[in-house]
Structure 1
């Protein structure tokens, strides 16, 4: 690899401290899911401390002790206290509950950690699964035993352990207050339950004339489709991540030689022998869980992405932190071959890869992490390590969980959800250890243009990281101990950043609180959708109130219901304050106010049978569905919502009083989890492929919502009118789902804010409690473009606006190129903040001119779209490009769920846009021209018209026509097609005449015979141009060095998320071309 700038012998070029390399810079590193669009601004020019400096500071902060480097003497957990099972109770925070299918004895495992940091495994036995069926009329107690024998004979086993008659109410529908008899079937072990349930589902359970159904028709079952683990947690009031207390005398200690796990404390107990503490007050704390963040590096072969069957694992970096602490107490890196020492971190070097993998497995078992985190560890690091160990025959490696002798295996998974889309993934269960892949967390919780580690860190931490291509990694590995040290520092940083993101975004604390609030195991939160969380809460409340839940087949439905109302917007630019009135928690409030629930749903026959009176005993919703009022029966869903909202109020009140930072974080996580849970209940009832869809509830909620928005408009416009003594007639200019925008008339901000607060109280008084309309903000000025598209300055105080806010406009959309969001955001700032519409127009014209003259940097033109389906109905640009990239290099090609980055290039005449989509890096490396006209016509024009038409009317079209839209004509690509047979002709640098043998001394020279007298002048001009280009490149190179933290090392970063990457690549190409032109002068005699 060249380390100096490529300069002509006839031109002196400035040099950086570590010289910029003008050569083939490698493509981006796929392992960190590289996409080209960036969410960050250009790096700061100030020099950042290098990561080696960060490591040194971490060492200093721990007083320079060896412990700071995480030596092997620090790996083990605290010593286990001596326990007497008859005198000592055991209290631990359970982190995972899983079923255990050893033999035919039903049991579960609860893994956890004590307050002192000791790991625990509790074997819970004798909890039997069960489900319910309605008791047929005439079925007597004496029929129970023969019926049990009959069922067991049908499945050739003794799976049905017990049948008893119990009184319960079905969750579905109001049938009066009396309970109905059900048969509770207790099953011997979880795997047999589906067999018994199947008899009823297939209508094969007929017995003495009972349970008969039409051929193929199912006999209804209740609570037969709930997972065994969740059933246990519900019945024992265990919620995700809560504290468990096992009293003395209620457990049996497992002796060391009989332990089935690596946990320090292992016990056996009955399912009803422990106390489950509700996670409130002192029990809201979190144990000092050990969190391992790791990252691996692999040495790939030239031209392709590393594969586990051929390419070695060369480094594994590890950071181990205790939950609640900010600094890792273990920092080390396992390296293949020698590596220079790194201050503040332990370097463990190995001569062969097998030894490295074995020792890392030993490290994991010794440290015994409770939580394992990283970036893309689910789809890359873990599968690669497992596959590589298998390839090398390291039979002792794949035992990374807590259970002895249980092999760690990789499984393919497919996740599909309306909220999160489709995603192919891999899963590597680590028994007893939680996993949190920060990439999956980001894709679930945050809408970003790009999900590379670099882009995410820039967005949330405000800093870049060096991204090194896999081919450069191989070079560093094959170099010296010092070059491997550089790679190790890079690897350590990639292990440290997920931990920093975890702390910054409070991911672990927030997920812990979500598990506690919804009652599901922590591992469900990344692997499952929203429905299971609502279902868990519904089962718990139903259990308390004596309801049983029908097991419905979630087969989906074509039934649709009308969504929320959108009051037609009165488009325009409003240079007066516009008040915004919002309904607080609209859908949960409607469900509580009108008692909408499965348990209150009525039909006309029941109304007639029970002689119910309309508007007293029941209501008819605007959607014509019927529900019992709370005077007859309080609904289960409204009760759950009330509990969630009351708990959130308590958490927010506690948050205000709490001063301890960690306890504040827990409380904040709790109130957020409670808010999300309350808002999820409505969606659960409308999910037609869910476990318990009920369109009568969801459509009634939206119909009430539509009615309320319309009534709000009527009440506001009639009350705040000149006829009622006000100075102006108020006008609702827009309404959407749960908010209305009101132009009261006055231009004074404080006056409008007072009217907004007054109007909110006035309208609230017209609705049933707890429905509440709130005044939150004023937009001034306000640009209303269309439905769900508007922008304005956001005011909550009269002194100064809070921010510039926009909805549905291209500043926040991810499927446009960055140029669109940059231009629209700048225009909005000029129009709304500077009140300079003319300046905005001039800026747009200049930008269009720059675009069409190829003066806009490529980083601004990259488009990203999610590869959300395996097959699309029509051809899509990003999908077609992904297929082409897979043919070039399958290892680095985008996978299902990834965001694909592309630019549109000049194509053959008549070619479709999807044929012209290309990888930005490929475009730069092959000097392919961009189709700038496409970006003007298909990306910029419509967004510009949307924001300028409300202000300029028809004159807005002048932005897209005129002198500034003259285009520089660029030929179609010179790669592929007939162009590969074309011969490039060299032209004179003076008059541009084609150089041939008859008009020049050298047909590959610089000038023709006529321009030879000007040769000196042309040469000096080219030298000046080359010098300017080299200076620009050197500046970009130095900026990248500052970002990586060293002015004395080459830039290896290939982060396609960073705008400077494309600038540097373009500048590099420009310098190469300029130097090539200078070389032409060497062929001419002077």
Structure 2
């Protein structure tokens, strides 16, 4: 059978010691399809020391891997671009993706090995990169349909072929927003209410107290409340389960309470319990095939930079983005209402309205998350949680594969700490505003200043301080001893230039469309995604955890930024304008 499908989630599992990628998809009818692909093989690279390539290849071919329960399938000599040079490497392909680190450990300290690369890219991500599959975009799948007994899906396809296709079709996703209310009783957290709101109009408040409200369902106790929530999730079968701060609050608390009550919090489409990953004080809650979107994370990491709200509570954010805030209720009031069992309807309305606000925010923000996923190749689960630099890196990793560039390794912890200790470099020029009320103001603003600087001056780690005298003379960074090559296009400038050109074309298309049309909204979201990544590329090279780290690149972009804005200020003053304010990429002047 052959079918066109849209990918919303992915992971992998092991079947007979081989990796099997699972793609959770939707078809054009809105059915949920699971694609299982066992045809992709995991690999990594070893860079040989000079003159040792054939010796290293033979040694790897003879390597005994029985003790680590894997088999080396192929050992090949390949060429990749590394730091601007064509470089020969050994590509090592094995059967079990979980054994890549073990095979790497066996060879990394050999005298013939300079370094190993691309060993820490998760298997399903490797699959998406190599096949150039974009989450939230379409693929064509060929294969055999099998029974779907173990999964909450309409169909399972064992794939023989999976490839990306261009298809401009929309899917009506099922969204379920939820919110929980807790009080402290005898030193323990107690779940007193859980509300849900779906984009099909379904609304429900679960609580263990009878109320005369059509949307309230009474249950016996906390155990029954959690079990009923799981039933609703199965019945409504949402593609996206949305929360506001669910990663840090609702889901960890629900999971812990469910565990105490001997309930498995199975929210995934593979019937697996929710997986809460904790990294220090930060956690993320993953549900397989039914994507948990935490809106707070996305707003905190991405949208907050352009928002007025300084405190990112649901109330503040909803007021700014939707024009309506939460219903008023302090925690003390909630405790009092619950203990006295008076005004319980007010508490139920408060809880349900939180879910309704979360749903409305989801409908507003999800298209932006989806657009970023398409552009950078991340799953929506990751796109809503990533920082600017993590999104840029995901984008660069995909483009590196296309350009046959070896992906640098993530820095080790000691290297990250070393980078953190570097002194801050000089940033943008800021002229404090002249006090008073001004009129006849002229505003000069650079469009995409830093992305344009990166492209114009070819700022990239591999073009930094090349040996060419011409480059030293013609592309020297103002006020520094740095320069960048002008003879070979850098990897990062190439990608940023493509983004700038793509956004220009989108803006031209948008001019021909009605602003309330679906196509205009789709293009506007994609324009937002492109702008987000191109603007963030400036700071990425100074990100402590960056694979393509080069502090001098960010420092140089800032220096050129100061140079250009200084030129504008100088020109304005020369023409008798009075500069009253300047910040980073803009200048305000009054006409004398």
Task: Work out the CA distance in 2 between the residues paired with 1:552 and 1:101.
Answer: 25
Q: For 1:668, what is the secondary structure of its paired residue?
A: helix
Where does 1:800-811 land on structure 2 (aligned, <5 Å)?
Answer: none
Per-residue deviation, 1:581 = 1.4
**Structure 2 segments unaligned to the other structure (5+ residues):** none
Q: For 1:380, what is the secondary structure of its paired residue?
A: helix
Contact 1:682 1:698 in 2 (8 A): yes
1:400 aligns with 2:267: yes
Q: For 1:220, what is the secondary structure of its paired residue?
A: strand
Per-residue deviation, 1:640 = 0.8
Aligned position for 2:290: 433
Q: For 1:106, what is the secondary structure of its paired residue?
A: strand
Aligned position for 2:315: 454
Aligned position for 2:156: 266
Q: For 1:317, what is the secondary structure of its paired residue?
A: strand
Per-residue deviation, 1:644 = 1.0
Where does 1:972-1051 land on structure 2 (aligned, <5 Å)?
Answer: none
**Structure 1 segments unaligned to the other structure (5+ residues):** 1-84, 212-218, 322-327, 415-423, 608-612, 721-728, 746-1086
Per-residue deviation, 1:681 = 0.9
Per-residue deviation, 1:110 = 1.0
Q: Deviations over 1:692-720 (max 9, x none)?
A: 211232222222222223333344444x2
Contact 2:23 2:36 in 1 (8 A): yes
1:329 aligns with 2:201: yes
Aligned position for 1:529: 387
1:133 aligns with 2:46: yes
Task: Work out the CA distance in 1 between the residues paired with 2:171 and 2:144.
Answer: 23
TM-score normalised by L of structure 1:
0.50
1:275 aligns with 2:147: no
Contact 2:369 2:384 in 1 (8 A): no
Q: For 2:270, what is the secondary structure of its paired residue?
A: coil
TM-score normalised by L of structure 2:
0.88
Per-residue deviation, 1:685 = 1.1
Equivalent residue for 1:241, pick from 136, 145, 159: 136
Aligned position for 2:490: 635
Contact 1:582 1:738 in 2 (8 A): yes
Per-residue deviation, 1:115 = 2.2
Where does 1:265-664 land on structure 2 (aligned, <5 Å)?
Answer: 265-270=155-160, 273-278=161-166, 282-283=167-168, 285-298=169-182, 300-301=184-185, 307-308=188-189, 311=190, 313-321=191-199, 328-342=200-214, 345=215, 347-393=216-262, 395=263, 397-404=264-271, 406-414=272-280, 424-444=281-301, 445-446=303-304, 448-469=309-330, 472-473=333-334, 476=337, 484-503=344-363, 506-551=364-409, 553=411, 555-556=415-416, 557=419, 558-560=421-423, 562-566=425-429, 571-573=434-436, 575=438, 577-604=440-467, 607=468, 614-615=470-471, 619-622=475-478, 623-629=480-486, 632-659=487-514, 661-664=517-520
Aligned position for 1:168: 80
Q: For 2:278, what is the secondary structure of its paired residue?
A: strand
Q: For 2:28, what is the secondary structure of its paired residue?
A: coil
Task: Work out the CA distance in 2 between the residues paired with 1:376 and 1:567.
Answer: 35
CA distance 1:617–1:130, change in 2 (3 Å)? farther
CA distance 1:152–1:739, change in 2 (3 Å)? same
Aligned position for 2:6: 93
Equivalent residue for 2:547, pick from 688, 691, 707: 691
Per-residue deviation, 1:565 = 4.5
Contact 1:220 1:551 in 2 (8 A): no
CA distance 1:717–1:476, change in 2 (3 Å)? closer
Task: Work out the CA distance in 1 between the residues paired with 2:138 and 2:527.
Answer: 19
Contact 1:562 1:703 in 2 (8 A): no
Per-residue deviation, 1:614 = 0.8
Task: Work out the CA distance in 2 between the residues paired with 1:693 and 1:121.
Answer: 38
1:187 aligns with 2:94: yes
Equivalent residue for 1:666, pick from 515, 522, 543: 522
Task: Work out the CA distance in 2 between the residues paired with 1:544 and 1:339.
Answer: 60
Contact 1:115 1:288 in 2 (8 A): no
Task: Work out the CA distance in 1 between the residues paired with 2:176 and 2:433.
Answer: 55
Task: Work out the CA distance in 1 between the residues paired with 2:410 and 2:218.
Answer: 57
CA distance 1:530–1:228, change in 2 (3 Å)? farther
Aligned position for 2:531: 675
Task: Work out the CA distance in 2 between the residues paired with 1:559 and 1:297.
Answer: 45
Task: Work out the CA distance in 2 between the residues paired with 1:143 and 1:132.
Answer: 12
Contact 1:519 1:533 in 2 (8 A): no
Per-residue deviation, 1:245 = 1.8
CA distance 1:602–1:161, change in 2 (3 Å)? farther
Q: Deviations over 1:950-1000 (max 9, x none)?
A: xxxxxxxxxxxxxxxxxxxxxxxxxxxxxxxxxxxxxxxxxxxxxxxxxxx
CA distance 1:529–1:375, change in 2 (3 Å)? closer
Per-residue deviation, 1:199 = 4.7
Contact 1:561 1:695 in 2 (8 A): no
Aligned position for 1:825: none
CA distance 1:474–1:714, change in 2 (3 Å)? closer
Where does 1:8-27 land on structure 2 (aligned, <5 Å)?
Answer: none
Equivalent residue for 2:145, pick from 253, 260, 267: 253
Contact 2:295 2:384 in 1 (8 A): no
RMSD: 3.0
Task: Work out the CA distance in 1 between the residues paired with 2:282 and 2:89.
Answer: 42
Task: Work out the CA distance in 1 between the residues paired with 2:332 and 2:570.
Answer: 67
CA distance 1:134–1:617, change in 2 (3 Å)? farther
Flag the structure with larger Rg.
Answer: 1
Higher relative contact order (CA 8 A, sep 6+): 1
Q: For 1:548, what is the secondary structure of its paired residue?
A: coil
Task: Work out the CA distance in 2 between the residues paired with 1:411 and 1:237.
Answer: 27
Per-residue deviation, 1:452 = 3.4
Where does 1:22-33 land on structure 2 (aligned, <5 Å)?
Answer: none
CA distance 1:331–1:200, change in 2 (3 Å)? same
